[in-house]
Structure 1
Amino acid sequence: MTERTTSLEQGLTAAEVQARIDAGQQNEPLPPLTRSTKQIFRDNLLTLFNLINVILGGLVFFTGSYKNLLFLGVIVMNTAIGIFQELRSKRQVDKLAILSAAKSQLLRDGQVTAHDQADIVQDEVIQVTRGDQLPVDGLVRETTGLEVDESQITGEADPVIKGVGDAIVSGSVILGGHGLIQATAVGHGSFIKQLARSAKSNRRTTSQLLTIINRIIKILTITIIPLGAALFISTLLRGESQTRAILGTVAAMVGMIPEGLVLLTSVALAAGAFTLGRHQVLVRELPAIEALARVDVLCLDKTGTITSGQLKFDHVEPWATASADKVTATLAQVVTAINDDNETAQALRTALGPTKVTATKVLPFSSARKWSGASFDGQSVVIGAPEFIYQTVPADLKQRIQQLAQQGFRVLVMARVSQLTTPKPTDPTTLGLILITDELRPHVKNTFGYFANQDVALKVISGDNPVTVASIADRAGIAGAQQLIDMSTVGTSPDYDQLVADYTVFGRVTPQQKAGLINAYQTAGHTVAMTGDGVNDLLAMRQSDCSIAMATGSEATKSLADFVLLESNFDAMIQVLNEGRRVINNIERVAALYLIKTMYSVALTLIFVFMSHSYPFEPIQLTPISSLMVGIPTFFLALQPDYTRITGRFMKQVMEIAVPAAICVVGYILVIDMLGTEFQLDFTVTSTLNVLMTGIISLNALLIAARPLNRFKIGLVAAMASLFVVCFLFAGKIFSLVNLLDWHLAMIYLPLMLSAYPVFIGLQNGLGKRVLSKIRWK
């Protein structure tokens, strides 16, 4: 801890700041949200699959069959596209991150100015207030009653009261009050390394889709090398040439690698982040795009989401025999004494103006306590929610508040108390009711209507009066808004499971109760998103599967959130949901096309290890199939709009499309192999027929994966089919294909071609449905 005492009137001078910078006593910037350019190039280039492809390319080069190196061109192209898309996304995300970066209020040369967190030096005096997150370790030098959340350090969610002289640790969130903190440890000396996402007690589960894909890659990594070695050795043992053994093995191993699937997933997520960035939405974690796409329950905090957060003081209604003028004057005094900076305090201060008052004790507003108060002129006065001020709210007061809440007013009570005790003050006597109005966000009704049409259930979880919240929710068009409950009445151990089943609007909710409600929805099998803008939303946002913060919210909330709406425009949520659904739905749809090649390549390798014939393809012959039936069309299909609800169809799509298609390919290749033996066809002919039939079956799979069809998709499939035909007619020599304009060959391949569609559909309807019926899809 520092020995130096910095002046609370002047702070550090410019010369003192520079001296500390020169001595290396400066804070460090937050870790970036994106990977560095060097990391992007390294992680896209230095992959296991790329290494395998380079080794395979070296083997092909050794044979002198240079045209069979064309598969490396596809790999290079895919890698280049991946790097380009991620760099483009990085620039967008980094730009938005700078715009949304938290600023610290530093006292220097007698002036309080905003600076980046990296500018803080040793002994700096930092002005903090409710919602701030401390970027360095410090010592409380001046305070009106700081309440701090240290849960990310201690694991305890209860607020901690900090007084002058108390230590405070970086990452702590200011829940109430304001004060001056002197930095005692910066940079490596503090917890700055854990500050990024410091409010998260646990990392979210990884993306379901990426988990499945990584599992597939892990299995293939173990499988590819031994299978390739076995095929190479068996080919040589049959007396085939070394060149034939190498080309067959390379073709088999290239076919087994779904390199485009990994690329497509990363590119789609990066492109999604870029698109959302253009709509002023900062994506902090790419897997969060998938998490939000799967959301079926959206929990909303009223202030800042349903309403604009702009509160307006309407009037004070005196209670009992108190006069209006005296109550209004007392309200102005207590607001000045407390000197809070939350939305309610700002609305009151704007309407009432400053007044002279000297407070002997102050308790700023706390999200957990839900009231604030001050002692002055020989009296103590509190302002807050009546349920949290009174042990039992008087019946007549409760009735009047209910009437006003039904009119859409947000009602606070001002009461004189004997002592400012917590959690509730002592002996409250009502002086008056403070009426405040909220305004709905523009277009919020249309936005909520869209979510309802997309099968996303809307729930409102707020700290305000449930009747008021329900009235606002009803005005906003939220279904079931009249199903409301006052959470201050449910006791210390409520049945959250029953509550979430019965109610839509939850009022007077404490931060801990918010998290409990989110957990109950998750226990019921829902994927839950939470929106918020205040520190009272932190626990719930941490608990949720996906969290969204408004740019006008607290810095602690923004540092926690997966998405930050930089223009605080809730309408942007439509774009966020749609972009997530588009990305995931399209990846799930086209993934089966990549896995067809993997499946039949693995199966053929296993079969041809024991066959007397060579592997049925050369590397160059797989290029038309990989490019025209998978690579090019999936790129376009991944950009198509598809905003239907996510249903976890990845493995289902594989079972419905990839497995029947792979079985068809293997079956037709074995038939062609037998026909080759019967009619004494050489390898160039049989391999050409294999390419033809594999392409046709892949084309049928593409047609099914592209459903529902529209003009663009039909045109895309037709274009790929036409280019496939062109490969045979005009590029046969390049791809080692023989001329099929031979009636002798036509007698063989025409019946095979005509049978391909009915056989594939038959297998899909028979085998696919039989297998699917035995599996419980989540």
Structure 2
Amino acid sequence: MLTDLRGLTSAEVAERVAAGHVNTLPARSGRTTLEIVRANVVTRVNGILFVLFVFVMITGHIEQGIFGLLIIANSSIGIIQELRAKRTLDNLAVVGEAHPIVIRDGTHHRITRDDVVLDDLIEVTPGDQIVVDGSVVAADYLEVDESLLTGEADPVAKGPGDQVLSGAFVVAGNGVYRAEKIGAEAYAAQITAQAAKFTLVSSELRQGINRILKVVSYLLVPVAVLTIAVQFNQPDTPWREAVLRMTAALVPMVPEGLVLLTSMAFALGVVRLGRRQCLVQELPAIEGLARVSVVCADKTGTLTQHAMTVGEVVDLTDGEVPLREVLSQLVASDPSPNASMLAIAGAIPPAATRWKAVARAPFTSARKWSGISFAGEGNWVIGAPDVLGDAALARRAEAIGVTGHRVLLLASSDTRVDAPEAPGTLRPAALIVLDQLVRPDAAETLAFFRHQRVDIKVISGDNAASVGAVTRSLGVTTKAPVDARRLPPPGDAFADTVNDSDVFGRVTPEQKRQMVTALQSRGHTVAMTGDGVNDVLALKDADLGVAMGSGAPATRAVAQIVLLDDKFASLPYVLAEGRRVIGNVERVAKLFLTKTIYAVTLALVIGLLGLPMPFLPLQMTVVGWFTIGIPAFLLSLAPNRERARPGFVSRTLAVAVPAGLIVAGVSIVTYLLTRGFGDVSDLVQEQASTATLTALIMTATWVLATVARPYLWWRVGLVAFAYSFYFTVFATPAFREFLSLDISDAGSMRTGIIAGVVGMALVEAAWWVTAAVRRERPRLWGMPAPLEAVSH
């Protein structure tokens, strides 16, 4: 029936392409190159820095405007990283997107989703996603799941003339539908278009940063007004010097690198994972990776390979039934064979002369069996022994299954397979034993998760004993597997069982979804891996959906991450990348906010005291680069194995607020002790500024030393480099002249150094105290194990 359709001719396709009737969808990676450039150049931070840069240029002191390079750096790094991520996503999305089969000129062609034209005939089989809206032309027991559109989990039978909507997917049977609404007109066209889109949408991390920046922006306005008023009303101060000191006060208040490094860390994560054939379809998924506490893994296709082989056919009829002939007829008459039927086909070729099929019941995960009724040859079903057989047969099959094999029952029935009461009364004919091939990397991958304190839940539709045998061989658990048919209804008891057990068999698609929800109700962040149609609902509801590249198009469409090379062993790298991004962004956020807090506090107190700002723009630029900017950049790229926890804002402020106030307090005290109040000479002003800068550098760099913990050799080197650099600057006459430093007054310098040592001690004490208040165990040293060696 389906093979009689001829579809559009080549000429008709060309006409529709010329008329623009093509399934054109929005760009996969969201923003165009021009939009990316504009978004990274025209920012609030760049705008503030540019205005201050113009002010400094007006004074003629070009060297003091070196902070203007931040505009170029901010924009360039952001543009480069986002373009790299865009290119990576575009390349990977071509592999990961749905490729529908269209009928043209009577032949079948697999094309890209974007090449579908109006009136195309599109063939679908189980697992295929409906890519455009249309109406069914031909159907062979076609059932479609529209839960992604309607929320209703029950599949809907579709016949000729029925409407199908993009975003739905086929769960059973096969069929052909005509494309009637394409591109932007399709009901759910944006679902697949958004799937591979590079976005910086809401996430807990970005929301926390935005909340912090909002508070900072509120503080900046009054402090900036006060600073401008005070600096321009200093007696005997030229306007050029007033402009420079005003700029020196305002520039450090802007956390110019925080948003940049956050975006860069996300984008770099996309690129790194792309190199491992991991398609990140939603950028905040990077953050979700770091927070995962439970991984729900489907056995088939995740822990075991898709390919199975027939190990044995156990005759239950003493030779009364020609088993090989029946199986060959079932193979020949199945238009959409699943993995089990493909394994049987590998051992028993399709019959050359077919029996006439009068009814068919495609396999579904809910009923666990399939069948065909033949004219004059009876009704035959094949499926799970514990579903189709009696208790004795189920026990016999389970005894085989506990060794890790998969067992199917072949049986004849007295009822047509499409009857409501099917399968009816059955007569067992044979047990078919299938050998499952375990992925060679599965054991090491599961060991990695155990080492990282991430729980593994194996959820499968197969027999619980068989699943348990496979998982025991992989070292998942020593607990007994749970038959999901004996689980209590959703509720507290259900959630407790799911939370306490590790291996589940005979799980229906709806139960998989309920298990994800139950784990989430117990405070877990859940990642779900899968590749089949029966995994779609759970993937959709999980905090992080991970699909296999060779799996059903529907699973790839709803997942946040697609493992294009089907390697389960890629998941540790995916997890590690998420932790690197989140952990490092939190680390550098503490540095940037410390600078903002001490800059705002300094400007506020100095302004209220009516004194000139102690620093020049160039001095603060150097401090910003070598105490904050460069170290933060390096820290943001480093590996980080710590699991992300909620409370990003509170933890960041718990470090940044006391550290910023200590830096500001030490600087203010030094400034007042070395300069005093009232009007002073330019020499005293420069000497006091130098001493104050010394105290600030010593204290602020020790903030870097605490934030860099736990120490590794390169982090110690980073802190040592910062202190060595500043020592070189103060010891070299050329640098001192360039930065307007005067160390000739021993008393002032002594005061600055002593204040700096006190500041370092206070920062150290604050680090220990705040850790104790948060009930954390501070670590001075720590060497995370290499990812490859974690499981050994």
TM-score by length of 1: 0.93
* Aligned mate of 1:724, from 719, 723, 726: 726
Counterpart for residue 375 of structure 1: 373
Please name the residue that 1:746 is paired with. 749
Q: What amino acid does structure 2 have at the position aligned with 1:62?
A: I
Secondary structure (helix, strand or coil) at the match of 1:163 reads coil
Counterpart check, 1:276 vs 2:273: yes
Aligned runs of 1:573-592 on 2, under 5 Å? 573-592=571-590
Matched, 1:762 2:759: no
Decide whether aligned partners of structure 1 residues 442 and 204 sit closer, same or farther in structure 2, where only a CA change above 3 A counts: farther
Asked whether the equivalents of residues 20 and 26 of structure 1 are also in contact (C-alpha less than 8 Å), the reply is yes
Paired residue for 1:58? Answer: 54
Aligned partner of 1:262 in structure 2 is: 259
- Which segment drifts farther, 458-467 or 733-742? 733-742
Alignment of 1:611-760 (within 5 A): 611-648=609-646, 650-651=648-649, 653-655=651-653, 657-678=655-676, 682-728=684-730, 729-730=732-733, 732=735, 736-760=739-763
Ranges of 4+ aligned residues in structure 1 off by more than 6 Å: 197-200
Corresponding residue for residue 45 of structure 2: 49
Output the CA distance in 2 between the equivalents of 1:10 and 1:591: 61
Q: 1:107 to 1:287 in 2, by over 3 A?
A: same
Aligned pair partner of 1:562 in 560, 578, 581? 560
Q: Is the 8 A contact 1:199 1:542 kept in 2?
A: no
Identity %: 37
Letter in 2 for 1:381: W
RMSD of equivalent CA atoms:
2.6
Aligned amino acid, residue 689 of structure 1: A
Matches within 5 A, 1:4-403: 8-29=4-25, 31-191=27-187, 193-196=189-192, 206-237=202-233, 239=235, 242-319=239-316, 321=317, 323=319, 326-355=322-351, 356-378=354-376, 379-389=378-388, 393-403=389-399
DSSP 3-state at the match of 2:456 = strand
* Amino acid in the other structure paired with 2:396: R
Q: Which amino acid aligns with 1:700?
A: W
Supply the AA of the counterpart residue of 1:647.
Answer: R
Is residue 668–residue 692 contact of structure 2 (8 Å, CA) maintained in 1?
no
Superposition pairs for residues 588-599 of structure 1, below 5 Å? 588-599=586-597
What SS is found at the alignment partner of 2:103?
Answer: strand
The one-letter code of the counterpart of 1:638 is: S
Query: C-alpha separation between the residues in 1 aligned to 2:398 and 2:287?
Result: 42
Q: 1:385 is matched by which residue type in structure 2?
A: A
For 2:749 and 2:239, the matched residues in 1 are separated by 32
The equivalences for 1:420-435 within 5 A come to: 420=417, 421=419, 425-435=423-433
Q: Quote the offset at 1:8 in angstroms.
A: 4.3
Contact 2:510–2:537 (CA under 8 A) maintained in structure 1:
yes
- Unmatched runs of 5 consecutive residues or more in structure 1: 1-5
Please list, as runs of the form range in 1=range in 2, the aligned pairs for 1:507-546 lying within 5 A after superposition.
507-546=505-544
Quick one: distance in 2 between partners of 1:324 and 1:588?
Answer: 71
AA at the equivalent of 1:347 = A
| Matched AA of 2:741 | V
Aligned to 1:3: none
Shift of 1:30: 5.5
Task: Give, in whole Å, the separation in 1 of the partners of 2:633 and 2:511.
Answer: 45
2:134–2:178 Cα contact (<8 Å) kept:
yes
Determine helix, strand or coil for the equivalent of 1:429.
strand
Q: Unmatched 5+ residue regions in structure 2?
A: 777-792
- Match of 1:665, SS state, is helix
**CA 1:132–1:121 in 2, change beyond 3 Å: closer, same or farther?**
same
The answer (yes or no) to whether the contact 1:333–1:357 under 8 Å persists in 2 is: yes
Tell me the number of residue pairs that the alignment of Structure 1 and Structure 2 aligns.
Answer: 762
Indicate if the aligned counterparts of 1:281 and 1:566 stay in contact, CA closer than 8 A: yes
Shift of 1:387: 4.5
Moved more, 15-24 or 657-666: 657-666
Structure 1 residues 409, 163: closer, same or farther in 2, change over 3 A? Answer: same
Quick check: 187-196 or 692-701, which moved more?
Answer: 187-196
Between stretches 417-426 and 120-129, larger displacement belongs to 417-426
Shift in Å, 1:486: 0.9
Distance (Å, rounded) in 2 between the aligned partners of 1:381 and 1:198: 44
SS in structure 1 opposite 2:434?
Answer: strand
User: Which range moves more in the overlay, 328-337 or 463-472?
Assistant: 328-337
1:177 aligns to what SS in structure 2?
strand
Q: Deviations over 1:173-228 (max 9, x none)?
A: 1111112112122223322532327899xx99942211111111222233323331
Distance in 1 of aligned mates of 2:119 and 2:3: 10
| Alpha-carbon distance in 2 for matches of 1:738, 1:198 | 55
Q: Is the 8 A contact 2:78 2:260 kept in 1?
A: yes
Contact 1:363–1:373 (CA under 8 A) maintained in structure 2: yes
Q: Return the alpha-carbon distance in structure 2 between the equivalents of residues 715 and 751 of structure 1.
A: 24
TM-aligned CA distance change 1:30 to 1:232, over 3 Å: closer
Shift of 1:338: 3.1
Q: Distance in 1 between matches of 2:624 and 2:62?
A: 19
- Residue 788 of structure 2 corresponds to none
- With 532-541 and 500-509 compared, the bigger mean Cα shift is at 500-509
Distance 2:335 2:301 in 1: 21
- CA displacement at 1:32 relative to structure 2: 0.6
For residues 191 and 772 of structure 2, the distance between their equivalents in structure 1, rounded to whole angstroms, comes to: 52
Is the 2:404–2:469 contact (alpha carbons within 8 Å) kept by the matching residues of 1? yes
- Distance in 2, Cα, partners of 1:230 & 1:95: 52
One-letter amino acid of the structure 2 residue matched with residue 281 of structure 1: C
SS at match of 2:40: helix
CA deviation map 1:536-566 (0-9, x unaligned): 0011111111111111101111122111111
Residues 12-68 of structure 1, C-alpha deviations (whole Å, 9 max, x = no match): 111011111122221114641353212221111111111122122222233333322
For the 8 Å contact 1:316–1:328, the answer to whether it is kept is: no
Cα distance in 2 for partners of 1:769, 1:440 equals 45
CA shift in 2, pair 1:125/1:205, >3 Å: same
Q: What SS does structure 2 have at the residue aligned with 1:303?
A: coil
Displacement of 1:293: 1.4
Aligned to 2:416: 419
> Could you tell me whether the CA contact under 8 Å between 1:231 and 1:249 is conserved in 2?
yes
- Whether the aligned pair in 2 keeps the contact of 1:616 and 1:669 (CA below 8 Å) is no
Equivalent position amino acid for 2:384 in 1: A
| CA distance, structure 1, for counterparts of residue 578 and residue 513 of structure 2 | 24
SS at match of 1:121: coil
Is this contact kept in 2: 1:605–1:615, CA < 8 A? Answer: yes
Does structure 2 retain, via aligned residues, the 8 Å contact 1:152–1:199? no
Q: Give the aligned residue type for 2:531.
A: D
2:604 is matched by which residue type in structure 1?
L
Question: Which stretch of the first structure deviates more once superposed, 325-334 or 117-126?
Answer: 325-334
- Preserved CA contact (<8 Å) 1:318 1:433: yes
Deviation at 1:114, TM superposition (A): 0.9
**What secondary structure, in the 3-state scheme, does the structure 2 residue paired with 1:571 have?**
helix
- Kept in 2, the 8 Å contact 1:685–1:737? The answer is no
Aligned-partner SS, 1:25: coil
Q: Helix, strand or coil for the counterpart of 1:738?
A: coil
| Partners of 1:505 and 1:629 in 2: CA distance | 50
Instruction: Judge conservation of contact 1:138–1:185 (CA < 8 Å) in 2.
Output: yes
Contact 1:152 1:172 in 2 (8 A): yes
